[in-house]
Structure 1
Amino acid sequence: MNRRHALLALALTLGTATAAQAADANTVYLQTKDGRITIELRPDLAPKHVKQIKTLVSQGFYNGLKFHRVIDGFMAQTGDPKGNGTGGSSLPNIPAEFSQSAQFRRGTVGMARSQDPNSANSQFFLCLGDAPFLNGQYTVVGNVTDGLDVLDKIKKASPGAPGGAVQDPDKIVSMTLAEKGK
C-alpha cells in the first residue's frame, strides 16, 4: 500500500512540475515603476502573435518603452519604439488571429494594429475595463493573471487628450519571460 501511495505522490509531483513548466513557457513579467504585472500568453488563441511577442521579449525590445496611449477605463497601449503609436519592430507584421470566443475584458491583452487587420507587429494593449466592442476585431494574446493593481497605476492621458496620448508617460522598466528567470 505504501508503494502505491509513493507512486501516486511521484506522479502528482511530476504532473504538477510539467504544468508549471508549461505555464512558465507562456508567462511574461512586465515590470513598471509601481510593480510587476504577470501576463499569461495564449498561444491557443494566437500562436503567431505569441511567438512574435516572446521573440521581442527575449531580445529586450520592450524594455524602456512608453505607455504612449492610456485611456482611463479603456486600455493602456505600449510597444512602440517611436513612442507615438506609429512604430514597430523590424520583424514582419502578423496576419490577424481573431477569435470569436475570446472576450476583451479587464485584464485582457490584445495586439494593437492600424486599420489593416493584418498590421499587428509589436504594439499591444492591456484592458483597464471591459471592451466588448473589440471582440472579434482585434487579436487576444493573453490575460493579466496578477498585478491588476499595478496596471491601474499606469499614468493616464488627461481628459480630452488627442488619441489618449500621455504627457510624460510611464514606461516598461523590463519585460521578461518567466522561464528565463523569475
Structure 2
Amino acid sequence: MRKLAIAFTLLAGPALATGLEIEIEGEGANGTITIDLLEDVAPNHVEQITALAAEGAYDGVVFHRVIDGFMAQTGDVQFGKLGGDMRQAGRGGSDKPDLAAEFSDEAFERGVVGMARAQDPDSANSQFFIMFEPGPFLNGQYTVVGKVTDGMDVVDAIKRGEGPNGAVIGQPDVMKTVTVTE
C-alpha cells in the first residue's frame, strides 16, 4: 500500500501554480502582463489576491502611485476605481481583513510583485506593487507575492507619477481586467 501511495504522488506531480493575467490600458501602458504568484512563499496573501481578482474587485483599478526607477503601485479596490474620486486612491483596501506579514528571503528584484502596507507590518490588504528596478532596502520588510513572467515591457510603460510621493497626475493607467490563471 505504501508503494502505491508514493507512486501516485510521483505521477500526480506538484500542484499547478496560480497566477494573474492583467490587461492594462491608458496613456502609458497598453497590453497584458502575466504574474506567477508564489503561494509557497506567501500563501495567505496569494489567497487574498486571487479571491479579490476572482470577484472582479481589481477590474478598473488604477496605478495610483508610480515612481520612476522604483515601482508601480495599484490594487486600492476601495478608492482606486477609475471614474471615482481619486483623491483618496492609495488609502484604502478591501472588505477583507488585513494580513499578517509573510516576509521571506525572496529579494525585491526587477519584476517582483510585493504587497503594499502601512507602517504596521501586518497591514497589507489588497494593494500591491511591481518593481521597475531592484530594491534591496525592501528585502525582509515587505511580503513578496509574485514575479512578472511576461509583459515587463508593458510594466515599463506605465504612466509615471509626478505628484507628491509618486502620485499620478491626470488620467492614470488602469488594470482593465485581472484574471486568475492556473
Please state which band the TM-score falls in when normalised by the shorter chain.
0.7 to 0.9
Q: CA deviation at 1:27?
A: 1.5
Q: Which amino acid aligns with 2:19?
A: T
Matched, 1:66 2:62: yes
Residues 152-167 of structure 1: matches in 2 within 5 Å?
A: 152-158=156-162, 161-167=163-169
Find the aligned partners of 1:175 and 1:146 in 2 and give their Cα distance.
15
Counterpart of 1:5 in structure 2 is none
Q: 1:67 to 1:131 in 2, by over 3 A?
A: same
Write the distance in 1 (CA, Å) between the matches of 2:97 and 2:19.
Answer: 23
- Determine helix, strand or coil for the equivalent of 1:43: coil
Instruction: Look at both structures and tell me which one has the larger radius of gyration over its CA atoms.
Output: 1
Aligned position for 1:86? 91
Q: Which runs of 4+ in 1 moved over 2 A?
A: none
Residues matched between the structures, number: 159
2:52 to 56, 63, 66: 56
CA distance in 1, matches of 2:16, 2:151: 21
User: What SS is found at the alignment partner of 1:172?
Assistant: strand
Deviation at 1:163, TM superposition (A): 1.1
Q: Determine whether 1:148 maps to 2:140.
A: no
Task: For 2:24 and 2:143, locate their aligned partners in 1 and report how far apart those are by CA, in whole Å.
Answer: 24
One-letter amino acid of the counterpart of residue 63, structure 1: D
The offset of 1:18, in angstroms, is 6.0
- TM-score of the superposed pair, with normalisation by structure 1: 0.83
Tell me the residue number matched to 2:117: 113
- Give the counterpart letter for 1:78 in structure 2: T
- Pairing partner for 1:172 from 171, 175, 181: 175
Aligned-partner Cα distance in 1 for 2:91–2:13:
40
Question: In structure 2, what is the equivalent of residue 135 of structure 1?
Answer: 139
Unaligned runs of 5+ residues in structure 1 are 1-14
Separation in 2, partners of 1:47, 1:27: 13
| 1:29 aligned partner | 21
* Residue of structure 2 in register with 1:3 after alignment: none
1:132-155 deviations in whole A, cap 9, x for unaligned?
Answer: 000000000000000000001110
Identity of aligned residues (%): 56
Mapped to 2, the partners of 1:78 and 1:27 lie a distance apart of 17
Q: TM-score, normalised by structure 2?
A: 0.83
Contiguous gaps of at least 5 residues in structure 2: 1-10, 81-88
Distance in structure 2 (CA, Å) of the matches to 1:147 and 1:112: 21
Q: Which amino acid aligns with 2:146?
A: G
* Cα deviation 1:6-27 (Å, max 9, x = unaligned): xxxxxxxxx7x966x703xx12
Deviation of the 1:173 alpha carbon: 0.5
* RMSD (Å) for aligned C-alpha atoms: 1.6
Separation in 2, partners of 1:104, 1:178? 23
